[in-house]
Chains A and B, each alone.
Chain A
Amino acid sequence: MNLLLALAIGGLFGTGVHQLLRRSVVRSAIGLVILSNAMNLLLLTTGAYDGAVAAYATLQGTHSDALPQALILTAIVISMGGFSFVLALLLLLSARHRSDDIDRFTELRH
């Protein structure tokens, strides 16, 4: 199971990087989302306990680890915020250059 999960996370990450490095603005943004999904999955599954039930005081049985869950809750929200800001920046840039090709964004070239 660990191996399978590791491969899935690695696969998601690789796909994310692949998308991120593409020239299209949308694809690059999609890559960013896949990357954060992969990382959140990794963080979540490295919790200390393999729970049978969710971490509710009212539920009997082994609880899953509440700590990484609380932390990635924050991570998900922050990456959503960051993602929309980056997307807005990309939109502005593509409007300015009248193209969705990242290689045409030449502001940093000197």
Chain B
Amino acid sequence: MDWGLLLPLILCAAGVPLAAALGADLRSARAVRIAGAALALLPLAAVVALAARLPEVVSGGAPSLVLPWMPSAGLAFSLQVDGLGLLFALLVTGIGALVVLYSGFYLDHDPAAPRFLATLMAFMTSMLGLVMAGDLFTLFVFWEGTGIASFLLIAHRRDDPAARRAALKALLVTGAGGAALLAGFALLAHAAGGTAFDALRAAGDGLRDHRLYPVMLGLVAAGAFSKSAQFPLHTWLPDAMAAPTPASAYLHSATMVKAGIYLMARLNPMLGGTETWFWLLSLTGFATMLLGAYRGLRRNDLKAVLAYSTVGQLGVLMMLIGQDTAIAFKAMVIGVLAHALYKSSLFMAAGIVDHGAGTRDLRRLGGLRRAMPATFVVALIAALSMAGLPPLAGFLAKETLIATAVHPSDSRAFDLAMTAGTVLAGALVLAQAATVIHRTFLGRAGSAASRAHEAPALMVFAPAIPAAASLVFALLPEPAGLAAFLAQAAEAAHGATVKVSLAVWAGLSPPLLLGGVAMSLGVAVFLHRRRARDLEGGGAPWTWGDRAYEVVLRGVDAAAAAMVRVQDGRLRRYLVVMLAALGGLLVLFGAVPLPEATPGGGVPPGGWVRVFAALVALGAALASARLRDDLLAVLALAASGLSVALYIALEPAVDVALVQVVVDILTTVVLVLALRRLPRGPAHEPRVPERLRGAVPAIAAGVVMAAVAYAALSSRPRESVVTPFYEANAVARTGASDVVGAIVVDFRGYDTLIEITVFAAAGLGVAMLLGAARRGRPAGEARAAATVGVAGPRTSPFLHLLAWVVLPLALMMAATRILYGHDQPGDGFTAGVTVSLGVALWHAVFGLAATRRRLRWARPRALIGAGLVLAMAGAAAPVLAGQAFFSPFDFGHAVGLPLPPGVHFGTAMVFELAICLTVLGSAVHGLESLGGAAPLPAAGKKEDAR
């Protein structure tokens, strides 16, 4: 457990809130610059923390940290840093520090600079986590994090539609790749029986021989190819240049696009070395290399040239991983390092040009060397490295690349192709580099040259560091420490020893000669670059990816439009469609097969009463459908519900029957109150055809449901797995002889807590919708109505008396329910509803205002709040006694209170009381607002209906 590994991650993550918090205070350009410089100290500290690991890692160590995350699913948050990871981690934080510093200058006039900086820090955290991850799923989480950050950074200029489109494209392409990657990782983890990279390495042979190997490899490669812009998924990367230049320098050249490279290098010891691996990576990389090298030559946008050359370099790296030889991995690590250095430097220089000259269109640039001398020198060094000239890092990268190409591999033919391809690509890249320098800084002064000015020193400092580094690391006489470190990185990817030497002069050798050929070819291409452009074609293969992307997007749009057309806004049609879909699913999944009729079903003893109850329930429901008068229909519904309650009581399920009775009454009251406030529009008695149309889905639904019910009743298991547990433990664990009550209040207390919360929310929702929540006096007519009672001005003295008597009775009943709920039928819910019905009677008889005045305790919101707080407190109380949240606890017994038999003063009673209070409050709230007379808003007043 090496907790220190968290330090660099925490340092970067700390930058997110810090940068975001700056938001309001960055009023001047100066403040933004200072903020950027200060923020850069965090990744700088991370660099130091990571560099401190160098001695340990170079000597072969791999410090790790594993924190359990979801142990039951075998998931852990796992970090591990070996040579490969450390190389990338240092690049991420090192270049990150420079880019953050640079961003402060680049965005000094952008009011959204804090958002950009915060997102940049979030990206840095994700990217750092990605390369430090020690297992598949930790890596995946960070992988997706980089994708989201990239989306936000590309779309930084929110009001620019092109930026939004580019961001969406990047998100969709890499996101789809991420989904494939997740599937591939799941297969890998399943096949290897573990998710840690150590476990995967140990299972290497088993993985390569696994029958799903091609699927795993395909899915993982799809993820890596999309992220690392391999042909034909590369199309998002040139578009992503819509991002502010610091993001392009950082994400889209130096770090994020190398995530796919990193992943394949990381997985090479587990999945690599097969023929599939070789051809898949080699050919994809080869095609990408040539595509990038050729396409970059033609762009007029400075950043687009750099973007395509990045695509080409990513192809080179992918191809190298496919070779799986020691020299290839040596070429890969040198290539990663050299490219990150010169490309980030060039991008930042391009940003300075854009900033200083106001454009990055090569047609308007030129001759800037006088106006921007420092930037010119920096860009020149970086471009020389890109061109692969000695004595720069790029030269070493190109030499080892060509050496790999001439090194014999599995296929003679591919060796030849690779040699020719790398020489050609090298030539084209040299021409690109020359073009960039020539058209920007040399030659005739362009139209933008007059107002060009040099950037502040610190801003040029940022690209100068990597440019200088590419010079220094090749100039130092054999920097042994660096060579050993790179060897360690290459070994982690190769799985075997790799020797790395960084000598610029290694004697006259075939690679050196071929490098010379590439160089002279490149100069020739540069001189004749105008002719090379005519080779562009319309239906070229590099447009396939773009076209496929557009076809898919159009398809999604068309599907969405079709969906919208189906939804014509008629609610009743929606219902029919939903019911039909439900029925269709039931039939489709065979939920309706009629089982053999079980003989001897017969009518159980006392069953005739059940038959009666079922028939009355059905008959009353049918009557409610037939009755013309709405009020009579509601009463018929009440009769139906009560018959259902009777059936439930005969089950016998006394608690449920009681709840059904009170809910039925409450429903009836609510419906009657609603009837009062319902406007009467023009009559709409259905004509016969319409009736028939309504009958068809009803009959179909009834038949399907009868079949489902019959199947369920006849084939249900006659032995429960769960119930015996509750039966056996109700008394022992909760002290309740009422098993149902024990389940509701104790065993499944959480459920009930949520249930009453929902009920409370429903009451509050009704009150809010109907406007009773508004404080203050109702005006005019409404006030008059509110003072005389819901039932109207004339109520008989008998009713007054009844209301006076009923409420205390209801309260007493509620009290007994709460006291004896654990051993007798009834519970807090029935208690609450009963009291609320008593209060509703007061509403009807005395009116809302009088009721509120006289029943001061019946304050809905206070009751709801008190109930929910009491419920939580009661659930939490056992924790004080050292028991679990929501565990049953008998305070009375613990303290030794003298209580009558059958009464337990414990958590259960507290909870019942809490339920009662909450339900009472919610029901009274709903009833008050339904019974109120405040007019509801009609169309055309405040909000238009449409």
Contacts and interface: CB of A to CB of B under 8 A. Distances in A.
Contacts of B603: 1
Interface in A11-56: 11-27, 29-30, 33-34, 37-38, 40-42, 44-56
A106 B703 CA distance: 32
A2 B748 CA distance: 30
A52 B570 CA distance: 48
Nearest to A53: B652
List the 10 closest A-B pairs by CB distance, nearest first.
A14-B702, A10-B706, A99-B681, A109-B569, A81-B762, A95-B936, A18-B698, A6-B710, A70-B743, A48-B720
Q: For this complex, into which size category does the number of interface residues on chain B fall? A: 35 or more
B667 interface: yes
B759 A57 contact: no
Contact of A77 (B678, B759, B765): B759
Interface string A84-110: 110111011011111111111111111
Interface string B730-748: 1100001111100110001
Nearest to A48: B720
6 contacts: A8-B614, A26-B671, A81-B758, A92-B937, A109-B568, A110-B569
A67 B499 CA distance: 69
B12 to A, nearest CB: 46
Contact of B681 (A15, A85, A101): A101
- Give the secondary structure class of A's interface: helix
Contacts of A102: 571-572
Contact of A8 (B617, B653, B655, B674): B617
Count chain B CB atoms within 10 A of each CB in A1, A20, A56 and give the residue with the most.
Answer: A56
A110 B567 CA distance: 9
Nearest to A19: B625
A56 B737 contact: yes
Given A2-B710, A3-B601, A33-B641, A87 B762 contact: no
A7 B706 contact: yes
Contacts of A51: 651-652
B694 A18 contact: yes
B680 A100 contact: yes
Count chain A CB atoms within 10 A of each CB in B680, B708, B723, B829 and give the residue with the most.
Answer: B723
Contacts of A74: 744, 751-752, 755
Interface of B: 564, 567-572, 575-576, 579, 597-598, 601-604, 607, 610-611, 614-615, 617-618, 621-622, 624-625, 630, 633-634, 637, 640-641, 644, 647-648, 651-656, 659-660, 663, 666-667, 670-671, 674-675, 677-682, 684, 686, 694-695, 697-699, 701-710, 712-714, 716-720, 722-723, 726-727, 730-731, 736-740, 743-744, 748, 751-752, 755-756, 758-759, 761-763, 765-766, 769-770, 823, 825, 829, 922, 926, 929-930, 935-939, 945-946
Given A14-B699, A17-B579, A76 B663 contact: yes
Nearest to A97: B939
Contact of B762 (A11, A76, A82): A82
A15 B621 CA distance: 7
A72 B656 contact: yes
Given A33-B667, A84-B766, A66 B567 contact: no
A34 to B, nearest CB: 5
Nearest to A43: B712
A75 to B, nearest CB: 9
Nearest to A79: B663
Contacts of B686: 22-23
Interface of A: 1-27, 29-30, 33-34, 37-38, 40-42, 44-58, 63-67, 69-70, 72-74, 76-78, 80-85, 87-89, 91-92, 94-110
Contact of B723 (A49, A57, A88, A95): A49
A99 B221 CA distance: 60
B822 to A, nearest CB: 10
Contacts of A109: 568-570
Given A66-B740, A73-B659, A109-B568, A27 B633 contact: yes
B722 A67 contact: yes
Contact of A30 (B637, B663, B939): B637
Contacts of B602: 1
Contacts of B938: 95-96, 98
A53 to B, nearest CB: 6
Given A24-B630, A48-B719, A17 B713 contact: no
Count chain A CB atoms within 10 A of each CB in B598, B654, B698, B766 and give the residue with the most.
Answer: B698
Contact of A63 (B739, B939, B946): B739
Contacts of A55: 653, 727, 738-740
Contacts of A1: 601-604, 607, 610-611
A40 to B, nearest CB: 7
B762 A70 contact: no
Contacts of B701: 13-14, 17
Given A12-B621, A77-B663, 16 more contacts: A10-B709, A12-B618, A26-B633, A27-B630, A46-B712, A54-B655, A55-B653, A56-B823, A69-B740, A73-B744, A74-B744, A87-B671, A88-B769, A102-B571, A106-B945, A106-B946
A66 to B, nearest CB: 4
Given A5-B713, A84-B763, A98 B726 contact: no
A26 B707 contact: no
A53 B653 CA distance: 8
A67 B726 contact: yes
Given A74-B744, A97-B939, A66 B681 contact: no
A69 B655 contact: yes
Contact of B769 (A69, A72, A89): A89
A2 B758 contact: no
B681 A92 contact: no
A101 B945 CA distance: 15
A11 B706 contact: yes
A99 B456 CA distance: 71
B364 to A, nearest CB: 47
Contact of A9 (B674, B706, B717, B936): B706
Given A6-B710, A13-B702, A66 B572 contact: no
Given A33-B637, A45-B713, A48-B718, A16 B769 contact: no
A22 B679 contact: no
A27 B712 CA distance: 29
A41 B625 contact: no
A56 B681 contact: no
Nearest to A45: B713
Contacts of A21: 572, 575-576, 694, 697-698
A41 B722 contact: no
A76 B752 CA distance: 12
A14 B703 contact: yes
B571 to A, nearest CB: 6
B681 A98 contact: yes
B663 A80 contact: yes
Contacts of A18: 625, 694-695, 698
A17 B697 contact: yes
A14 B633 contact: no
Contacts of B766: 84-85, 87-88
Contact of A69 (B579, B604, B633, B656): B656
Nearest to A11: B618
Contact of B598 (A2, A16, A87, A96): A2
A12 B617 contact: yes
Given A9-B706, A11-B618, A99 B682 contact: yes
